[in-house]
Homo-oligomer: A and B are copies of this chain.
Amino acid sequence: MKNTGDRRRTIYDVAKAAGVSISTASNALNGTGRTNAETRERVRRVAEEIGFRPNALARGLLSKRSHAIGMLTNDTYGRLTLPMAAGVSEVLVDHGVSVFLCATNNDPRLAQLHLEALLDRQVDGIIFTATRLDLTPPVQLSRLPIPVVYVFAEGPADSVTFFPDDEQGARLAVDHLKELGRSRILHITGPRDYLAARIRAQSYLDACGDGAEAMFGDWSEEWGHEAVQTVFARPGAKPDAIFCGSDEIARGVIDALRDLDVEIPTDVAVVGFDNWEVVARQTRPPLTTIDMELKELGHRAGLAILSLSKGEPAPAGITRLPCRLVVRQSCGSPLQSD
């Protein structure tokens, strides 16, 4: 008695098969109104038997809530976005909310197109993601009739925004190095025009005080390599630890140190930032680094948009989620495995 025909079963089919009216069927299925327990069971059983599934379009049309949200991202490569998106999807699926993925490639036309599509689909909210915190959304997101949550991106003042706590993350790294007895800590990081790079650097400078030095470059291995060569070629005291702004930079640093026959972690300890496993696990020795908890970021963003879409409150302003120290072997001492 399964659904043999091609037509999808509607609540009308359920009602007919159960010998009740359409509204009783609806009530029984949704537990709304007053329904005889016995009737309810029967209806539900019948619905199951004939393979009834409610049409979300019809529901949404009536309730004015589509139980879907849009994720607008300009991250082409997806190294940050996908783990995040998985987190978002993960919390929302249990609430019956689905996620539209819209990759804008940072193209305003595409972004606009996607935004309109989302609005037309009556999404209950939008999560906007970028890869840098100081980039403006490629499209006007304020004054929308639906809530917007920003992740890794800055929205208008007081908008709900999540990002990793770069400051705390950097402090975590520096404190770890200090605890291991390192005192001449160097910081090699990405471009100065990245807000995240600036915040991490400032946090490092605050923690290390006099003699601390932050070297800005770009987010590449090559830069890490080059920076180390520069530092070890010049006269003066050499660092006994290097805190890197990214795992890729750290990898370059580690390679350069090995080229110079500097022992890791004996002579120099190294900490990265990102916990990008494919990099951090493969350095020799494996890299101690800072994890930004991308999935958790996604969870929080998902919950926030869920609240907002129900008219409930969400943490206004910028919420910075704590980072986590992942200890591997590039810092030595407290012998811990991954």
Contact pick for A57, options B60, B99, B102, B105, CB 8 Å = B60
Verify if A113 is at the interface (C-beta below 8 Å from B): yes
Interface residues of A in 223-239 (CB under 8 A from B): none
Verify if A335 is at the interface (C-beta below 8 Å from B): no
Known contacts A78-B78, A89-B103, A110-B93; A98/B117 CB under 8 A: yes
Q: State the Cβ distance, A108 to closest chain B Cβ, in Å.
A: 14
Whether B57 and A66, one on each chain, are in contact in the complex, defined by CB atoms closer than 8 angstroms, is yes
Chain A interface category by residue count: 35 or more
Interface residues of A in 47-77 (CB under 8 A from B): 53-58, 60-61, 66, 68, 71, 76-77
Q: State the Cβ distance, A275 to closest chain B Cβ, in Å.
A: 13
Tally of this chain's copies: 2
Kindly state the separation between the CA atoms of A252 and B284 in the bound complex, as whole angstroms.
11
Verify if A81 is at the interface (C-beta below 8 Å from B): yes
Verify if A296 is at the interface (C-beta below 8 Å from B): no
Contact pick for A82, options B82, B94, B220, CB 8 Å = B82
With A76-B86, A101-B101 already in contact, 17 other A-B pairs whose C-beta atoms are closer than 8 Å: A6-B145, A54-B120, A56-B122, A57-B60, A57-B66, A57-B122, A68-B100, A78-B78, A78-B82, A86-B103, A93-B102, A93-B114, A98-B100, A98-B102, A98-B121, A278-B278, A278-B279
